[in-house]
Amino acid sequence: MASRRQVREAAVQLLYARATSPKEQGGPEFWELVNDRNGIIFDKARVKILVHFQQGRVDTATKLQTTLIDCSAAILAADPGEKLARDLKSLCAAEVKWADTIRSLSNLTKADLGGWRRDLVKLLREVGDLKKQRNELLPKTNLFPPLEYNALVKIFAKLDTYDERARMVHFPQNYPEQRDLDHLHRLLAEMKKLEHETVALVDQVEAAHVELDELIDQKAKNFDFSRLSKVDLAILRLASWEILHLPDLDNAISINEAIELARSFSGEEAASFVNGILDQIAKG
C-alpha cells in the first residue's frame, strides 16, 4: 500500500509537471519515474521469478549443442551451401548466451551493480527473437532422418515452454491467474493504486487553485508571488488545500510534511519559506 508520504511526493511531482506543461497529465513515462523505487523492487522480484522459471534452460541449450553435432551430416545434406548449418549454430550460441545471462543478471541484481534493469528488459525482449529464429529454422529440418528431426522438435518445444514462462515475467498483467506471479501482481497493484490516489488528490488541489493562490499570495508578505518556483508552489498548494479542506488532519502534520518535501525538492531555504507561509495560513 502506498504511504501518505509517497502519495504526497507523487502529488508534488504531478502538480509540477502539469504546471510546467499543461498537456502533461501523467503518462507512462511520468509514472515510471515516480515509481522508480517501487520499480526497482518490482524488477528485482521479476529477476528472482525469471531465474526460478528458467531452471533447466542451460541444460536444454547445452543439449541443443550436442544434438546439432549429432545432426551434422543431416544438416549438410539438407543444405550443402552450409547456410542452415551457420543459422543453427548462431541460434544455438544465442540460446546458450541467453540462458547464461540469467545467472549473471541474478548476481548483478543481488549486488545491485550496473545497469541490470536495462539488461533485464533487453533479455526479456530477446525471447521473441529466439522463438522467431526457431520457427523459421524448424521447417528447414523436416527432411532430416526421423530420429534427428524428432530430437530437434522436442528441444524446440521445451525452449518454447521456457519462452512462455519468460513472457509471463515480462507481461505479468496478462496472466492474472498465474499464482507464481502473485507477488508481481501485488506490486503492480500498489503502483497503480499510488497513481490513482495521486491523480485524485491533485485534481482536487487544482480545482481549488484560484482560492489557494490568492491565500498564498496574501500570506507571502513582501514577496512577489510570480517569483515562486513551480515546485515550491506545488508544495504550498498541496499543504494549503489540506489545511483548508481536511479538518480531521492536524495542521502540524501537513506543515511538517510540506517542510520535509520542500527540503527534499528545493533545499533548506525553501523549507524555511514554506514553513512561514503555511504557519500563517494555519493561523487563519
pLDDT recorded at residue 115: 84
As given in the structure block, the three cell numbers for residue 31 are 509514472
CA distance linking residue 187 with residue 192, whole number of Å? 9
pLDDT recorded at residue 27: 79
**Whole-structure pTM value:** 0.82
Inter-CA distances, 157 with 92, 138, 189, Å: 14, 11, 33
CA distance linking residue 65 with residue 90, whole number of Å? 11
pLDDT recorded at residue 196: 94
CA distance linking residue 71 with residue 64, whole number of Å? 10
- Residue ranges per structural domain of the chain: 4-34+190-283, 38-170
pLDDT recorded at residue 223: 78
Q: What does the mean pLDDT of the chain come to?
A: 91
CATH: 3.40.190.150, 1.10.940.10, 3.30.200.20, 3.30.1330.20. Which one for 4-34+190-283? 1.10.940.10
Contact between residue 49 and residue 181 where contact means Cβ atoms under 8 Å apart: yes
pLDDT tens for residues 23-48?
A: 666 778 888 888 888 899 999 999 99
The ranges of the chain with pLDDT < 50 are none
Contact between residue 76 and residue 82 where contact means Cβ atoms under 8 Å apart: yes
pLDDT recorded at residue 63: 95
